[in-house]
Structure 1
């Protein structure tokens, strides 16, 4: 009887073990199915002003833009620079600020230089009720 019991235990182990371990798995990468560049979605530049600006450049540029475009300001150009990257620029407000959809919007021309390729852009930025400025459409601008 004991021999028969051990035989049944062995059979239970042999056939039961695979079912018990069925939840375990090993991942084996298949190189032929893995793309060289993993694209997961659209990549947005750090700065909506220029893809050449890094995060700190954009932080400094946005501060200058906020001062230059402020409707309570003097309407004069405001410069910015980042000594670490060498990027620099100037924002020049164009025209008067205008109310648009519960925001205050103003056009500008910005010149960028330093570590970024020299370029001039024109655009519009709008300030919401919280005081944050957001860029609208920005396009290249050629000096006359």
Structure 2
């Protein structure tokens, strides 16, 4: 659950929040959308640690850290970065063997990253999924996320919640 939530926060902030003109898909800009999604992912991740008041503190810390990281990534990645990252993801899910990183790089912004499938499995009869790890380098800082993408009936790949 933790891996999926973190991956969704990063992947969605990479691909779904930025629409033409900088407006987010939820009526937000990239930075705000990244902060919101990062905060949610951080809260879910933080809730996995500790018990009682310790768990509450970990959840709060995860929310703040996730919001900050999501905001920074959302503010930093432009539409071209998202296109490069999305194309790398599709190549990784479609044909890369497990463990092989598919890299992307935007020469204009200097941002880069990788998508590495880690495991392939059949979630339901005929529905194949791939777990993956994603890295994004922005301003010399590396961010990592993990998630699962499943093949849709039309042949496309969709990150699962």
Q: Hey, what does 1:135 align to over in structure 2? A: 159
Higher helix share: 2
Across the aligned residues of Structure 1 and Structure 2, the Cα RMSD in angstroms comes to 3.0
Normalised to the residue count of structure 1, the TM-score between the two structures is 0.53
* Distance in 1 between residues matched to 2:130 and 2:118, nearest whole Å: 7
Misfit runs of 4+, over 6 Å:
46-49
The range that moved more, 77-86 or 44-53, is: 44-53
Check 1:69–1:54 CA distance in 2 against 1; reply closer, same or farther (3 A cut).
same
Higher Cα Rg, which structure = 1
Check 1:56–1:122 CA distance in 2 against 1; reply closer, same or farther (3 A cut).
same
Which of 94, 97, 102 is 1:74 aligned to? 97
**Residue 56 in 1 paired to residue 80 in 2?**
yes
* Distance in 2 between residues matched to 1:103 and 1:120, nearest whole Å: 26
Deviation, structure 1 residue 101: 7.8
Normalised to the residue count of structure 2, the TM-score between the two structures is 0.48
Deviation, structure 1 residue 54: 2.0
How many corresponding residue pairs?
96
* Distance in 2 between residues matched to 1:130 and 1:99, nearest whole Å: 17
Check 1:79–1:130 CA distance in 2 against 1; reply closer, same or farther (3 A cut).
same
Unaligned runs of 5+ in 2: 1-25, 38-69
